Amino acid sequence: MSIILITGASDGIGLEAAQQLAQQGHELVLHARSAEKSQHARASVLCTAHNAIIHTAHAELADLASVLQMANDLNTRLPRLDVLINNAGVYMTERKLSRDGVEMTLAVNHLAHYLLTALLLPLLRKSPEPRVVTVSSVAHMGGRIDFNNLNSEQRFDAYYAYANSKLANALFAAELARREPWLASNSLHPGVIDTKLLHTGFDMTGSKVTDGALTPVFLATSATVKGVSGKYFDHCKATPAAASVNDVALAKQLWQWSENTIGRIFNL
């Protein structure tokens, strides 16, 4: 069975995915913002999967030093990592900056996962079939990467910031697939799911979280997608993403921006 790390596993799609994966017998690492939240998630999963092997990890994704600390800890603790599910996400109704000075939506949804993935590549290399699953959204189709306004310096619109971050997720997954052909990197739309993010951002209800977990669990475990990489999935099927996701130059520019931003933050 696989060792699978899920970010944002304390509620919503992340917690439901953990429940499903634990019941399949996989060894899990559940990430949350705090040790207390990750322990609570672990206890919740163990209620239905009593014999599951579950580790916890915590990091504030809006603080890249915290992400670095968690990654270093996991690189020490784990023998390998088979699957990384980049699931955590936020929807900000007003402009706020992360501790590192990055607009919060982009910082949490994209930049933290960019850094975490990069730091965990050594663990993923130890897996015979490594996979990185990045939760994007159909909202990515409304995004547009404007490098003059990535931090919403000139203007802030909550939906625009969210859609941009989800486009960044899809671009990141596609570029990772090109740069690291030894692993499978795919992004997905989980559906319009009844989570706190949906309530905050859209003031509506959606489908059950059991439905939202289906595609990330499928991409993390299914033999039918073994070796499949660089695709965007919806309802467990590869489907066309926005045309901009296939813009290789744009993906490379976003990757370079991410790398440069992290270098500035850590004075590299």
Q: Rounded to an integer, what distance in angstroms lies between the CA atom of residue 31 and that of residue 8?
A: 6
Q: φ and ψ at 73, to 5 degrees?
A: -65, -45
Q: What gap in Å lies between CA 244 and CA 130, rounded to an integer? A: 26
Q: How many CA atoms lie within 13 A of 143 on its CB side?
A: 29
Residue 88 one-letter amino acid: A
Q: Is 162 one of the catalytic residues?
A: yes
Annotated catalytic residue: which of 114, 160, 162, 232? 162
Interatomic CA distance for residues 30 and 41, integer angstroms: 7
Residue 98 in contact with residue 108, Cβ under 8 Å? yes
β strands within 20-164, DSSP E: 27-32, 54-58, 83-86, 131-135
CA distance 96 to 84: 27
CB-based contact 26:2 (threshold 8 Å): yes
Active site residue ranges:
162
